[in-house]
Amino acid sequence: MLTIFLMNRKLVIVQQYLSWKGHYRQYFENLHSPAYYLVYASNTLEKYTNAKWIKSDFDSEKPLTIKSKIKGRFLGSFQVFKYLSSSDFDIIHFIEFEPLTYLLFSDKIKAQLIITIHSSDKLHFSSWINNKLSGLQRWLLDTALRKATGKGAQIVTHYECHKESIVRIIGEGLRDKVRVIQYPAPRPKSARVKVLSQDGPRFLIYGQIRDDKGIYEFLSNDSTKELNITIAGKIVDRRVLELSERDRLTIIDKFLSEKEISELIDSHDYMLLPYPIAYTNGAGTFKDSLSMAMPVICSNIDIFREIIDEEKVGLIFENSNDIAGIVKNIKPDDYKIFSQNCLNYANKYNWDYMREEYLKIYEGLSGAR
C-alpha to C-alpha distance for 84 and 108, rounded to whole angstroms: 9
Q: How far apart are the first and last CA of the chain?
A: 17
C-alpha to C-alpha distance for 102 and 137, rounded to whole angstroms: 13
* CATH 3.40.50.2000 residue spans of the chain: 2-184+350-364, 202-348
- Closest of 240, 235, 243, 238 to residue 209, by C-alpha: 235
C-alpha to C-alpha distance for 221 and 170, rounded to whole angstroms: 39
Domain boundaries 202-348, corresponding CATH code: 3.40.50.2000
C-alpha to C-alpha distance for 160 and 231, rounded to whole angstroms: 29
pLDDT at 153: 97
pLDDT at 1: 42
- Closest of 291, 297, 207 to residue 255, by C-alpha: 207
At 202-216, the pLDDT tens digits run 999 998 898 889 999
CB 121 within 8 A of CB 326: no
Beta-carbon count within 10 A of 150 CB: 12
Query: What are phi and psi for residue 75, nearest 5 degrees?
Result: -70, -40
pLDDT at 99: 93
Which amino acid is located at 294 in the chain?
Answer: M
pLDDT at 257: 87
What share of the chain in percent tops pLDDT 90? 70
Regarding the domain delimited by 2-184+350-364, which CATH topology (the fold level of the hierarchy) does it fall under?
Answer: Rossmann fold (3.40.50)
C-alpha to C-alpha distance for 137 and 123, rounded to whole angstroms: 9
pLDDT at 198: 86
| 315: Cβ contacts below 8 Å, ≥ 6 apart | 295, 296, 297, 298, 308, 326, 327, 330
- Mean pLDDT, 10 residues at a time, over the chain (369 residues)? 50 93 90 92 92 85 65 86 94 95 94 91 53 70 95 95 94 97 93 92 92 92 94 93 93 90 93 88 85 96 92 95 93 97 97 96 70
pLDDT at 17: 92
